[in-house]
Structure 1
Amino acid sequence: MKILVVGGAGTVGRAIVENLSAAGHTVLSVGRSSGEHRVDITSDASVRALFEQVGRVDAIVSATGHLFFGPLSQMSAEQFDIGLQDKLLGQVRLALIGQHYLNEGGSITLTSGIVGEEPIAQGVNATTVNAALEGFVRAAATELPGRRINVVSPTVLTESWDVFASYFPGFESVPAARVALAYRRSVEGVQTGRVYRVG
């Protein structure tokens, strides 16, 4: 398969690229400032240009997106909009434009996160965005005949635990290599409209 991995230079993205490449797929790594191709997922023009460059693909995987973390009592609409424009609309944009470059039988896999169902302190933006992404995937699956769409929802990564442990008291971390397995299941499997929870 020819697979596009957006966010391929990130911790999860690198694990996905490694896993899918080892399985014999042709993997194109894409990033905002690194990778074989560049894209700004907040821009329609940039996403269209990416797909014009790479052409048709068998799978689109998104492991990218920025969020805003901070206390609700001090949060502005502008700060809240960070997650809406980047991780939410950015990934939705990849799906909306990417569907037209997806081969028959192909798949789209997006990324949400555990806080979509397990809110944490200062994570209102993250919970909102992740829950919305999961809703988008469940609904979009009903309107993609001959193609599939799923979302992977990982818990906090072991590789990032030192940075984020204080946000996730009592949570268990998971290594990126194990998270990557869920993306492979989405790409190579038959399910659609699924939320693959890893944690």
Structure 2
Amino acid sequence: MTDKGFTGQAERALVVGGGSGMGQAIADALLGEGYEVIIVGRNEQRLADAVRELGDGKLTAIAADITDEQEVARLFDTVGTVDHVITTAADLDGSYGPMATFDFEHGSGFLESKLLGAMLLAKHARLTENGSLTVISGIAAYRPAVGGAMVAAINAALEGLVRALAVELAPIRVNAVSPGWVMTGIWDHMPWEDKDERLRAMAEKLPARRLGRPEDIAVVVASLLRSHFVTGTVLHVDGGHRLV
């Protein structure tokens, strides 16, 4: 169970991207451990569906766009102080493509949602002194794919941001979790005609002999919230992807 303060109240965790995929799995894991959870995303219908799927528990859903600074400020005006902020936000539309023909206007959503969004959360989040900020980076920072320069660069930059914020925001803890290939809707954004074949091949190649599941990421994020001596760190949950 989660730690409780002198008031006996459960800790509060805000999960950006909690309406689907890894974010929803993280919200589910935290609810199971007794946290009060606030899920945030841009798509109101997706949030509503997630609330129905997550079922009973101390759960709230708020629609907000973390690429808009005014919306981020209003978000924390609404929710007040929280103990933990986790962001899985990543707008992948247009983020893959060869550099020679890359459409930066179309592909800027990944930069804005994953890196600038994390910075806006760090700026405006009202966190308790023993609180934490956790971001999701990714294997592309270590194993970039052809046509994946934008994704590799932003994931690497996000991990640099984590180290800088761990120093600047201390004693608030700031960490990253770096997944490998996880079975979520992310693969629908890949410009691959042989998607299923590639996924099978990677599963066979990994030392773990399977691809990741959202629950694999959720359990590590939950452990970080309880680990008060871990900060400025990247935890790899990639099935050994960096080794092959």
TM-score (norm 2): 0.75
Structure 1 segment 156-167 matched on structure 2, within 5 A: 156-160=181-185, 163=188, 165=195
Residue in 1 aligned with 2:40?
30
2:152 pairs with 1:127? yes
Render the CA deviation track for 1:103-139: whole Å, top value 9, x for unaligned: 1100000111110111012211100100000000011
Residue in 2 aligned with 1:87?
114
Render the CA deviation track for 1:60-118: whole Å, top value 9, x for unaligned: 010112131112221133244332222111122111211xx101100000111110111
- Identical counterparts, % of pairs: 34
Q: Which moved more, 1:77-86 or 1:87-96?
A: 77-86
Q: Which moved more, 1:8-17 or 1:28-37?
A: 28-37
CA RMSD of aligned residues (A): 1.9
Distance 1:86 1:161, change over 3 A: closer
SS in 2 for 1:192: coil
Give the whole-Å Cα distance in 1 for the aligned partners of 2:106 and 2:187: 25
Structure 1 segment 182-197 matched on structure 2, within 5 A: 182-190=220-228, 191-197=230-236
Residue in 2 aligned with 1:73?
100
Render the CA deviation track for 1:28-73: whole Å, top value 9, x for unaligned: 1111123310111110000001100000000001011213111222
Give the whole-Å Cα distance in 2 for the aligned partners of 1:161 and 1:59: 25
Render the CA deviation track for 1:165-195: whole Å, top value 9, x for unaligned: 4676636420110111121122111200011
Residue in 2 aligned with 1:20?
30
The code of the aligned residue for 2:112 comes to Q
Q: Deviation of residue 162 (structure 1)?
A: 6.5
Moved >6 Å (runs of 4+): none
TM-score (norm 1): 0.91
Residue in 2 aligned with 1:140?
165
Give the unaligned 5+ runs of structure 1.
none
Give the unaligned 5+ runs of structure 2.
1-10, 48-60, 239-244
Give the whole-Å Cα distance in 2 for the aligned partners of 1:122 and 1:167: 15
Quick check: 2:22–2:184 contact (8 Å CA) kept in 1? Answer: no
Structure 1 segment 97-116 matched on structure 2, within 5 A: 97-98=124-125, 101-116=126-141
Give the whole-Å Cα distance in 1 for the aligned partners of 2:72 and 2:187: 33
The structure that has the greater radius of gyration is: 2
Give the whole-Å Cα distance in 1 for the aligned partners of 2:147 and 2:89: 20
Quick check: 1:120–1:167 contact (8 Å CA) kept in 2? Answer: no
Q: Deviation of residue 4 (structure 1)?
A: 0.4
